[in-house]
Amino acid sequence: MKSTLRKYCILITTIFSLVLSVFVLNAQTVNTTYPSAPGSVNAVVSDANYTYVGGNFTSIGSLPIKYLARIKRSDNTVDASWTPNPGNVTSGGAAVNSLALSGTDLYVSGDFTTIGGQAINKLARISTIGSGTADLTWQPNVNSRVAQMIVSGTDLFIAGIFSSIGGQPYSPLAKISTLGTGLPDPNWRPNPNLQVLSIALAGNNLYLGGAFTSIGGLTQNGIARISTTGTGDADPNWMPVITKTTGSPSIHTIKISDTGSELYIGGFFNQVGGLVRNNIAKISANGNGEVDVNWNPNANSLVNRLFVLGNNAYAAGNFFNIGGIPRSRFAKLDANGTGAVDPNWNTPFTTVNFVYAFEKVGSDLLIGGAFAVNSNTIPVQYNLLQLVGETAQVTPPVTPVIAGPAGINNGIAMWLDAADIDADGIAGNNPTLNTNFTTWKDKSGYARNATSLNTLNPITYIPNEINGNPVARFTRVNDVVGSAMQVANMDIRSITNPEVTMFTVYKTGAKGSNGQGQALWGNDNGAWDRFFYNSWNFSDDGIVSLGLGNPNFANISGAGITGKTQLMTAVYKSGMAGGSAIYFNGAVVTNFTDNTDPSAAISSLRIGSDGDNGMFNGDIAEFIVYNRKLTNCEILQVNQYLGAKYGVTFTTATITAPATTVCSGTAAELTASAGDSYQWFKDGISIA
């Protein structure tokens, strides 16, 4: 788990010019003055000021800038001052294949052997400040093509067809440090046996697509989920069964849904999970990777790129028919339902070989590839296209009703209630006794759903368990095996959420052994991160992490008593001395300074474990998270709501007054025996 110690007329002219240069074609509004890039555009990324474009072009707009350029978002002109100048001393071709942006660093992969005349092989880090010089100290030295990259903190995940890094043998997937000289992690070696074409990151899971048939010796047909930590082992339980009628299947593109619970995949295949799925499908990011039984666009050939935005999905490839509708290599689909093709949105291209890149830039959609857009009334656009306002046309989801318990809505981030486990607000349609489930839906309105994580044991629904209310039952086998859930889009690290207030109503089950105890929730990955052990060393007492310091944790007496309904409240406020607090059953246990690791912890909340181990055994009835520090009175109000619901008095103060009668015109001072989180009422109305 962890060690004990981590100018006016000019402006008017410009606006007038932009208005005249917009052309509506096939229901899309094309900006015909956007820079073209003869050759191909393979990658596009953007920040607040610039759009970075990589590919196999030797000019862009009217400038002779090769392979890598950037476009000013303010006026859509190419920045002539930023010229990294990739080159190749052997072949002359130095196409850029992939881009990843992190702050002022742009990670670039391609066929180059030099950047700005300096020797750098296939993978480089270039500054977005100044003229675009390469960092000559950061030199991983990859021997062949990197198809895709993802940067996460101080890690850069790279995938492709390479076989060595820094002269050492490496399979075509590696985790490289963004620090120092760019060394690969020698321990993280998933070892796919063939090329990896696409990767997608969600929390501590990295999803892979490619032509491989095994990962670290484990059979996998073109798709896998591996851990971003440790040695990068493949998850043997998450194994979508993907097949192809002739030959081996291959996955060319993977995109994660907005909720993080689903994956959109494209490639060459004919079946997923025993169901006919031609070259495009939607599968679960959790469980066993089950296929969505309804979503079936049905493309007649390769799907090599997908882009998902709200309720819309864009598919590109080598197909000419998708969903029974003629579409030449590019289509817009419904990201939900059956995946129907938008009948009113046709391809904007006159000719198209392939689409390689998508990027949302403001309300516009940028598309890169090898194509042309032409009309009798507009000039030809090559390989880089700006669809004006396209992302603003995304069908908005139903506006959620944001709600928190006891009417405290401000700052509510997640609300899991076993009495409304499907979050539909309808009583009586919850599962029956001992029903196993993999999704616990969030009723806050933010869709931060908890989903089963690498689970060997299901989470079980038990009705009428606490004061007539149901619970979710978690079953522990050992320290790392049991029932556990993650909330992929609920990040409790202080770098993301400096303030959080968390309420959990639970009952401890039978205690086991093997490990350091059992944990209710956390984001731990080895340091003193934010987590709560209800039973430490399998005793009746628990601990809550306070972070690196002295002490590291607070003792919670009685937190692990078997069969007792308990309420644990954690208030973390980073950066404020003494600004955090732990409450247990409504009483303050300790006030402390939050010294938990701000960024190195897991980015998705885990329920039923501390994050990396400490599997929980017992019941959870309700779990509420706010992304702010609630006031003492607000904490009391939530406690009152929970106390009434679960038949437990969570506040322990006694109230004393100088007299039993207070007449008009007089005053009395009321004193609470403990704490200051008490709201005074007169005839049910708040008075202080």
The set of residues, in sequence order, having a beta carbon less than 8 Å from that of 468 and lying 6+ positions away, is none
608 residue type, one letter: G
Name all contacts of 359-364 with Cβ < 8 Å and 24+ positions apart: 359/44, 359/45, 359/46, 359/51, 360/309, 360/391, 361/46, 361/51, 361/73, 361/386, 362/73, 362/391, 363/388, 363/389, 363/390, 363/391, 363/392, 364/31, 364/388, 364/389, 364/390, 364/391
Q: Is the pLDDT of residue 147 over 50?
A: yes
- pLDDT band for 47, please (50, 70, 90 cuts): very high
Q: Is the pLDDT of residue 533 over 60?
A: yes
Tell whether omega for the bond before 551 is within 30 degrees of 0, i.e. cis. Answer: yes
The pLDDT tens digits for 590-622 are: 999 999 988 888 888 999 999 889 999 999 999
Give the single-character DSSP code of 510.
-
Whole-angstrom Cα distance, residue 239 to residue 223?
Answer: 8
Which pairing describes strands 605-607 and 485-487: parallel, antiparallel, or unpaired?
antiparallel
- Using the Cα atoms of residue 646, residue 647, residue 651 and residue 656 in order, give the sign of their dihedral: positive
Strand runs (DSSP E) across 412-468, as ranges?
Answer: 412-417, 435-437, 439-440, 450-452, 459-466
State percent of the chain over pLDDT 70: 88
pLDDT (average), residues 244-269: 93
Q: Is the pLDDT of residue 400 over 70?
A: no
Give the single-character DSSP code of 346.
-
Lowest mean pLDDT among 178-192, 538-552, 558-572: 538-552
Q: Is the pLDDT of residue 87 over 50?
A: yes
| Type and span of the H or E element at 554 | strand 553-556
The pLDDT tens digits for 624-653 are: 999 899 998 899 889 889 989 998 876 545
The pLDDT tens digits for 549-585 are: 888 899 999 999 999 999 999 999 988 999 999 999 9
pLDDT (average), residues 138-165: 96
**Virtual torsion, Cα 204, 210, 211, 215, nearest 10 deg:** -10
Q: Do the Cβ atoms of 346 and 352 come closer than 8 Å?
A: no
State percent of the chain over pLDDT 90: 63
- pLDDT band for 677, please (50, 70, 90 cuts): very low
Give the single-character DSSP code of 645.
H
Rounded to the nearest integer, the mean pLDDT of the chain is 87
Lowest mean pLDDT among 416-425, 457-466, 678-687: 678-687
- What pLDDT is attached to residue 7? 27
> What pTM, to 2 d.p., does this model score?
0.59
The set of residues, in sequence order, having a beta carbon less than 8 Å from that of 111 and lying 6+ positions away, is 88, 91, 93, 94, 95, 97, 122, 145
pLDDT (average), residues 43-52: 96
Whole-angstrom Cα distance, residue 523 to residue 602?
Answer: 5
- Rg, C-alpha atoms of the chain: 28
Is residue 327 helix, strand or coil?
A: coil
Is residue 113 helix, strand or coil?
A: coil
Whole-angstrom Cα distance, residue 586 to residue 675?
Answer: 9
Q: Which domains does the chain show, CATH number per domain? A: 8-41+152-393 (2.130.10), 405-646 (2.60.120.200)
- Using the Cα atoms of residue 108, residue 112, residue 117 and residue 119 in order, give the sign of their dihedral: positive
Q: Is the pLDDT of residue 27 over 70?
A: no
- pLDDT band for 185, please (50, 70, 90 cuts): very high
pLDDT (average), residues 385-414: 78
Report the residue count for the chain. Answer: 688
- What pLDDT is attached to residue 385? 87
Lowest mean pLDDT among 277-291, 344-358, 371-385, 490-504: 371-385
Lowest mean pLDDT among 71-75, 117-121, 544-548: 544-548
The pLDDT tens digits for 280-289 are: 999 999 888 9
| Type and span of the H or E element at 20 | helix 8-20
Strand runs (DSSP E) across 245-296, as ranges?
Answer: 250-256, 262-268, 271-272, 275-276, 280-284
- What pLDDT is attached to residue 286? 87
406's tokens: 């006891």
Whole-angstrom Cα distance, residue 262 to residue 339?
Answer: 14
Q: Do the Cβ atoms of 517 and 537 come closer than 8 Å?
A: yes
Whole-angstrom Cα distance, residue 478 to residue 649?
Answer: 33
110's tokens: 């391609």
Residue 265 C-beta-side C-alpha neighbours within 13 Å: 37
